Amino acid sequence: MISPEFLAILEQFQTTIVGIVGFVGVIWTLRSNSQNAREEHRRQLGARRTALRRILAAELRNYQRALKKNLETQRPNREFLSVGRIHRLFSEQLTADLGLLELDEIDVVVNALISLDGMAHFLENISSQVSDTRFLLPSEAWEEFKIVNSTTADALKYAVQVLEISGEA
């Protein structure tokens, strides 16, 4: 069966053989653990990306609906028109997480957020009075108001569509 010379060699190198087998086992375990950690990290990023898409899509969708509702109203008969100021809720806090999105999504979402902020600045410029919650616009600014409302609503709609397509938001 097994020759005595082979047994002698095994006995002489027994510690070395056990060390090599143990070392290979440790390397295999480390490699498996790092692969599992990478997969878990990918899953976590995917979950965060999906949540971010859904939160942004919901917030932008609500703003878009509000702007569309403004467009459906009739020209005011009064001298002034009172318009509520949009206060960004989640998108303001999630700006740092935009990097989780795909590059095309970032471009469209940032454009929509810039349009939203730009609309607020534009309304400040054409308003007779401004408060923390409202703009008081002269009735002569109705057409300008409708144009800025429409372009901002379009930018928001496009951003929502992109987020929905890429992440079923």
Q: Domain ranges for the chain, please list them.
A: 4-167
Q: pLDDT by residue (tens digit) across 5-64?
A: 888 887 888 888 889 989 999 999 999 999 999 999 999 999 999 999 999 999 999 999
168: left (phi over 0), alpha (psi -120 to 50) or beta: left
Q: pLDDT by residue (tens digit) across 52-108?
A: 999 999 999 999 999 998 888 877 777 888 888 888 878 777 888 888 899 999 999
CA–CA distance, 17 with 20 (Å, rounded to integer): 5
| Percent with pLDDT over 70 in the chain | 98
Query: Does the pLDDT at position 169 exceed 50?
Result: no
DSSP for residue 94: T
CA–CA distance, 42 with 85 (Å, rounded to integer): 39
